[in-house]
Structure 1
Amino acid sequence: MQTKRNVVQFDTGRDIEDEDLAASPGARTRQKLLLVVLLVVMLSTLLFLDAILPLAGFWFHTALLTQTGSWALLPTHIFFPGWAVTSSVSSLTPTPPSIALSWLQIPLLIMSMLLVFLAYAFALHRVPLSIINYRSILYSTLLLGLLCILVPVVTSSDIYSYISYARMGVIYHLNPLTTLPTAINNDPTFVHLYWSSQPSAYGPTWVAISSLLQWLTLPFGRQSLLPMVLALRFSGLLAHVCSTLLIWSITGQLQ
């Protein structure tokens, strides 16, 4: 007795293509509109976080953007008019906030981070894969990243350590891997440092990269730190975009 088996094969690629072709123009338009709306929502949540970070209760360190004007604090003034901002944006010797003020404002920070996460989770769940492509990934990453570059504070002062070690090599011709920042205590970076009693712990590769950026920003002024802050932020965004596109390329090959 012979048993016949009927093997049914599904052409996954053709099925997906047929579904795309079957989708009406109106449905495609609604899907693209949903993508735009979700991007606006994510931008809004990041803007809200941008407004909260400079508040006085958190005592985050200045990113020096206010040297170009008060526009950097515009989100804070819009969402929280009349509220005090961290003293680091206006003073080289900032004073810490009261513990009571910090506890009062911490719920705002938690809420803003939760909103960012919820917006991301909702987009991950609701955006159809059929409308996600190379351009949408690239443009959204750039747009969200540019907004992050404009945050007027830094949550860690390590960025000034990067700049200090880079300036050691480029301006003062010292070896940042063996020299303490105290050797350049008259440099404008010194007042921003937290780690001032140890040489660079970031290794020669990062020292070389940051030194190159410092050399490129020297035409903007030897005493100005803002160009280097922006150079590091833009280089971070570039690295993030490249890694995002790399992941997109790899996952595309795996599908």
Structure 2
Amino acid sequence: MTTDPLMLDVQDVSVVYGSYQVLWDVSMQAHAGQVVAVLGPNGSGKSTILKAIMGLTPVRSGRVIFNGEDITNRPAHEMIERGMSMVLERRRLFTGMTVYENVMLGAYHKSVQKHAKERLEWVESLFPIIAERRDQIAGKMSGGEQQMVAIARALMSRPRLLLMDEPYLGLTPRIVGQIADIIRKVNAEGIAVVFNEQNVKLSFGISNYGYLLESGRVMLNGTGDEMMNSDVIRRVYLGE
């Protein structure tokens, strides 16, 4: 049991797209300094819960509490001010713009602009490739390199909580390892990370705590080790 303060508290959140319910009373937590993984197959709702936390998807019922404040259905741009940022699925870079231009978009919000220079220096110290490739067109980079640019952009606001929507999607095993190392490096800077994934070992191998979503419901939760050693996880997801 962690003694770190509770940062994110998702309470019985339900989400509906039109007439189709995607999430059913989902509850989850993240403490300061933690890496939290959300595992689930396609269609389980694992992307939707991150979008609901960030204010990108409306919450029908339930609450999202961040640092003791109810932020349910607050607009996404307000999350930046409160210390939350998100790396979207498939990176969503402006591929015709340079690396520098893409990264600096993370400092667009007025609450971040005045510290943009020092934050760029901090981001470049974490990811030297950002400084090395400043003038390169983002669309000409590899998928892994683009993911690093997307993470750097999200970090420009120096968040206390970083949400990552399928950070390993479409990447080679070698690059996946690099992104896992980046998650550890970001977390070592004191930033809590919540990410989702379909792969058990990638999810729980680097996480302090984890959740299993199926059909929009939390089916199982526990520490990373508990989830890796769960009979359900080992039987259904690892085929053991």
Normalising by the smaller structure, the TM-score range is under 0.3
| Higher RCO, Cα 8 Å, sep 6+ | 2
Structure having the higher Rg: 1
Q: TM-score, normalised by structure 1?
A: 0.24
Q: TM-score, normalised by structure 2?
A: 0.25
